[in-house]
Structures are given as structure tokens and as C-alpha cells.
Amino acid sequence: MQAPPPEHCPGVESEQAGQVSACAGCPNQSICSDPNKKLEDPGKALVTAALKDVKHKLLILSGKGGVGKSTVTTLLTRYLARSCPDSNFGVLDIDICGPSQPRLMGALGENVHQSGSGWSPVGIDDNVCLMSIGFLLGSVDDAIIWRGPKKNGMIRQFLSEVDWGNLDLLLLDTPPGTSDEHLSVVSYLKDDNAPDSVRAIIVTTPQEVALLDVRKEINFCKKQRIPIVGVIENMSSFRCGHCGHSSEIFPAKTGGAAAMCAEMEVPLLGSLPLDPAIAKACDAGEDITSIKNATTEALEGICSKIMSNFS
Amino acid sequence: MQAPPPEHCPGVESEQAGQVSACAGCPNQSICSDPNKKLEDPGKALVTAALKDVKHKLLILSGKGGVGKSTVTTLLTRYLARSCPDSNFGVLDIDICGPSQPRLMGALGENVHQSGSGWSPVGIDDNVCLMSIGFLLGSVDDAIIWRGPKKNGMIRQFLSEVDWGNLDLLLLDTPPGTSDEHLSVVSYLKDDNAPDSVRAIIVTTPQEVALLDVRKEINFCKKQRIPIVGVIENMSSFRCGHCGHSSEIFPAKTGGAAAMCAEMEVPLLGSLPLDPAIAKACDAGEDITSIKNATTEALEGICSKIMSNFS
């Protein structure tokens, strides 16, 4: 394993590369500070090498927080892993300030082991493994109060120093927004010679205020030339457990995700209902994909559309 | 108005201050690069001067996205403005990548005017004004793809170059997490000689997976020594419009916000139900605080507790 970049590394692609006090003593300083060399982040080559046996990468994105990116990531992973027992799936949680995957996957309190080939991700199932900063915290309540560059360093380590092994699909659960984490992960994973090297799924709720942020995220993907597999509408309706009546919790004033997808020319993969049973199972880290209900039926349709993109 | 910092300003409190290529030509370079001066960001003095007639500042925080920070900010502002017609209220939306306040406040498409004393915030009501990056975008779908330092520069401008005038309370709607935006706003607003110079309200939903992130946010406030006014539990229950039965949409496996507040020793201000009428009104930017229902009743209790902190 190569020496880590200095703690305050300005990033080799930045204007300050090689020129700031933190660069003193870094073995790459002379390369970084040469203005005639337009450099790629050396981390990118390390990431490419580390992920050479990962067939497909899928970002789970949403401009809006709390729409269910993490829950959808967990549900997709578990459903796909159950339907394709001969394929291997990995989940990387790059929500550095609010990692939810350890709880959703029922792996809270697990430890990550270090071996000669890097950190070993935590095994969730025979064909599912997970890496999250949640595994590296002393206490689950610890706040990660980091500005961008430190978060980027962590993401780079997760991509280049985790022993992912052979994976058919690596799902990346992201924080809300279009900022440091998103730019970092895209710059590390994107291969200009292979336009499908990384793709994205966008999660939204039907509300206009969520769709507003989601449109921004779709434009982010378009600007970064990340192909969008499609949009998943989450919490589309709520079925009263008492009378069975279906209510719109987050009313779709403007036609919801379907109208937005038509307008922005991206496919709609499907809608997941708001199901308290799912919220409860997720809090407890339980797998509910073996049960037959409205959610898993919707999930089946969504997963088959996703898989048709990766054949 | 003073010249803006250079675009790639590393921040005067950083180790690279005055030493990077972006500093060339900046009038502050000689001060910044002097290692014997432990400098405060000169922006801080500007912020203090610009906000000298703002009596109280209140951060609306949550580690988790989508719990309703923006909706709660809007509801609190409107309710307080209605109950205290002689007081003036301001709202600053520092969610740079996902600004929701223009829509929630019904001010989408409004423009910010520049005058001799700075940007004029948009008037929402006689005693409510709002500033958001949403007003500065060419199109509402534009994605702000900025790393930390650019976001910080924007927040500094919002605090130092907006003509807030006389305000009794400035509410700051924040993005999820504990990262750049939060560190910036705290460093600009905190006055070590006045511990109550800025206070925080934490918003959560009852789910364990939300509380997990909210605990981090409470620890962030404790580390940064920001007094916490209290916690608001949002989306605590859903009343079926058909049969009237109340359901827990996001089940509280571990006692919800009440248990967490007791454990973390912070006050619980109250719980707001999940009300599709609110979601609909918010999407449309309408004010619903004049209507009498379960939500506005809960809001009344919460607001009176908040006001008792600011007397």
C-alpha cells in the first residue's frame, strides 16, 4: 500500500498542487508542482487498479435528503443478491457525515479487518459485502466534522484500499446534494474511454420540493456525463393499516416523478409505496425482500429493469 | 463593499493561507502569509458588523436529510411573524446545493436587488424577509456543483453583504450533515464572549435511523459550544383522511425523539404530525399558520417554548 497523501493535501488536480505547506516532504511534490505537467490524481490509477474486478458501478443519487437513497440502496442490494445468488454485490456508503448502511444492513458495531490486500469489507450475506465509515467510528454517536478535502481522502481510501475482490455490481450510497463527495467519486470512477464505467440511479419522492432538487441532480449527471439508469419514486403512497385506504403523504402537485421523467427524458424505473413495515425492518437491519407484499412486488419490477442495463 | 476574496482563497484560517497561487495579488496576502499572526478570518469582522442589528440567530439543524428542516423553518418563521407582528424576522437559506426556501415561502422566481448597502433580501411579508441562493440561479433546475471553499464564500457573502437591517430573529436553514456549511456558519456567527450569540434547533423524525444522525448533530453542537434550544420531532404520526386512524409512518423503535432527548439531555420542544395538507401548502408556497388544526396547535406550543428562550 502506498503512503497516504499528506493530511492537508490540496488535491493534485487543484491549482495549489505541490505549492502549499502541507506538500513539504510529500514524495509527489516535485511532480505536482511542475506547471508543465497536467496531472491526473494518482489516486485515480490506484482506484482503477483496486476496482479492476468490479464489473459495474452504480451511484444511488438524490439532490434531496431523506427521500430514501439508503433504504433503496439496501432494498436493491438485498433483492438483487437474492435473485442472482451466483453474482457478488458490494455496497460502499460514501455518506461520510451520516452513514446509515451499517444500521440498515444489520451490521452496526461490526469491525473492519485490515489484511495485506487492504481493508476487508464487512460480509452481510454470502454474496453481499459492505464498507462504511460507520465501521471506523469509536461510537455510533461520533460526529464526523470534516470539510471537503478530508472527506475526499476518505472516499479515495474506500475506493483504492478496500479489498473488494470480484464484484458484479458495486452500489454507492451517497449523501444528498451535488458537492464534494459527488465530484470526488465521479472523478475517481469515471473512465472517459468507457462511458458506462459508472451509472446512476436517482431516488425521489413525489413532492414538488423534492423534484426541484432532483432535477438539479439529473443536470449534474448530464454535465458529468454519467448515464442515468432511471428514477425510482419512493414513498409514493401510504396504505392505512386500519381501513386500507391509500393516501398520498407527499402529494404530487405537478404529476410527480412520472411527469418529471418525461420532461427531463430519463426513464422511470418504478414507484415504491411508503410502508411502515419497511421502515421498521430497516431500523432493525432486517431483510424483508423474501416476503411477498406491495413493496417487494414493486421492487421486483424495478430490479428487472435495472438488470437489463447490466446484461 | 470590500473586494471579494480570490476565487480559490484557501481560507485565512487554513495552513495554506497566503501561500498558494490564488493568493497572488490579494491585498491580504502579506497578512495571511505571516506565520506569527494567528489570524481570524477578516470576513468574521464584516459579518459581525453586517449583523449588528440582528438580535438573535437560530440555526435549524439536522444530521439527517428530508426530516423537514426547511418546512419547520418556514412554519416557525410564519407562525412567529404572525404572533409577533411588531418583531422582524429574517430567513437565510444556506443549503447551497438544494435551496428550498424560495418555493416554501412562495417566492420562486423573485429577484434580489443590489443597493448601496448590499443585497436586499426578498420581502415575504411585512415582517419577514428571505435570502437564498435560489434567487441567484438562472434557472431553478441549475445544479450548483461546488466544492466546500466556494460554498463557504457564498455563505460569507450572505452573512456580510446582505442588508438584513433590524431583525429580532434570523433563522438559518441548513443542509444535512456536519460539514463545510455548518463549520463556516458557526465560525462566522459564534462570538466567544457571548455564548448565546447563535443557538440551534434540531429537527428529527422518530425513526432510529434518523435519530442516529441527529445524535451526531447534537454532539456537533456540543463540540462547537452552540446552545441547543431544543429538538422538534417532525412527521411523528399520520392521520388517515378516510377513517381518522393515526398511524406511525416512521415507527419509533427506541422511544423516538423523547427518549433520545432524555438520554442526550436536550429539551424536546414538541412533535409535529405528518400532514399532507402541510406538504401541499409548502409545495405551493402558501401560509397555513392562520388555520386551526393539529399541526398549528403543536406549532403554537413549540413557538411559545422557543420565544421563552429569546425574551
Q: Which of B37-41, B51-55, B155-159, B170-174 is predicted least confidently?
A: B37-41
Q: Is A125 exposed, middle or buried (0-12, 13-18, 19+ CB in 10 A)?
A: middle
Q: What is the mean pLDDT of residues B163-173?
A: 95
For the cut 50, the answer to whether the pLDDT of residue B97 exceeds it is yes
- pLDDT score recorded for residue B161: 92
Pick among A21, A282, A283, A295 to test the B interface (most B CBs inside 10 A): A283
Average pLDDT, chain B: 87
Question: In this predicted model, what pLDDT tens digit does every residue of A209-249 receive, in sequence order?
Answer: 889 889 999 999 999 999 999 999 998 888 777 787 888 87
Q: What is the mean pLDDT of residues B212-219?
A: 91
Residue of chain A minimizing CA distance to B178: A145
- pLDDT score recorded for residue A124: 96
- B69 labelled binding-site residue: yes
Bigger pLDDT: B149 or B24?
Answer: B149
CB contact under 8 A, B212 and A248: no
CA distance A48 to B68: 39
For the cut 60, the answer to whether the pLDDT of residue A138 exceeds it is yes
Q: What is the mean pLDDT of residues B150-159?
A: 90
CA distance A40 to A212: 34
CA distance A209 to A254: 10
- pLDDT score recorded for residue A95: 92
Cell numbers 459564534 label which residue? Answer: B190
- A9 labelled binding-site residue: yes
For chain B, what is the total number of helices (H) and then of strands (E)? 10, 12
Hey, which of A16-30, A163-177, B10-24 has the most confident mean pLDDT? A163-177
CB contact under 8 A, A103 and B67: no
Q: What is the mean pLDDT of residues B293-302?
A: 92
Question: In this predicted model, what pLDDT tens digit does every residue of A249-303 receive, in sequence order?
Answer: 777 777 889 999 999 999 999 999 988 888 888 888 999 888 888 889 999 999 9
CA distances to A176, A222, B247, B294 from B274, rounded to whole Å, are 22, 34, 10, 10
> pLDDT exceeding 70 applies to what percent of chain A?
91
Give the pLDDT band of residue A1 (cuts 50, 70, 90): very low
Nearest-CB residue to B65 (from A66, A248, A283)? A66
In chain A, the N- to C-terminal Cα span, in Å, equals 34
CB contact under 8 A, A141 and B219: yes
For the cut 90, the answer to whether the pLDDT of residue B304 exceeds it is yes
Contacts of residue A36, Cβ cutoff 8 Å, sequence gap at least 6:
none
CB contact under 8 A, A216 and B242: no
Bigger pLDDT: B302 or B38?
Answer: B302
- A303 labelled binding-site residue: no
What distance in Å separates residue B305's CA from the closest CA in chain A? Answer: 27
Contacts of residue B226, Cβ cutoff 8 Å, sequence gap at least 6:
B59, B186, B190, B198, B199, B200
Bigger pLDDT: B19 or B286?
Answer: B286
Nearest-CB residue to B103 (from A103, A209, A284)? A209
| Chain B residues closer than 8 Å to A143 by CB | 63, 178, 216-217, 219-220, 223
Question: In this predicted model, what pLDDT tens digit does every residue of B224-268 receive, in sequence order?
Answer: 999 999 999 998 888 777 787 888 877 777 788 999 999 999 999
What distance in Å separates residue A15's CA from the closest CA in chain B? Answer: 7
Give the pLDDT band of residue A41 (cuts 50, 70, 90): confident
- pLDDT score recorded for residue A200: 97
Which contacts qualify for A16-20: CB closer than 8 Å, 24 or more apart? Answer: A16/B8, A16/B10, A16/B16, A16/B20, A16/B21, A16/B22, A19/B19, A19/B20, A19/B21, A20/B10, A20/B15, A20/B16, A20/B19, A20/B20
ipTM of model = 0.71
Q: What is the mean pLDDT of residues B21-40?
A: 68
pTM here?
0.80
CB contact under 8 A, B219 and A64: no
What distance in Å separates residue A86's CA from the closest CA in chain B? Answer: 31
- Which H/E stretch holds residue B262? helix B256-264
Which contacts qualify for A104-110: CB closer than 8 Å, 24 or more apart? Answer: A104/A70, A104/A71, A104/A73, A104/A74, A104/A282, A104/A285, A104/B209, A105/A74, A105/A130, A105/A285, A106/A284, A106/A285, A106/A286, A106/A287, A107/A135, A107/A285, A108/A134, A108/A140, A108/A285, A109/A140, A110/A135
Bigger pLDDT: A17 or A246?
Answer: A246
- pLDDT score recorded for residue B2: 45
Residue of chain A minimizing CA distance to B102: A209
Question: In this predicted model, what pLDDT tens digit does every residue of B132-144 receive, in sequence order?
Answer: 999 988 787 888 8
CA distance B213 to B194: 28
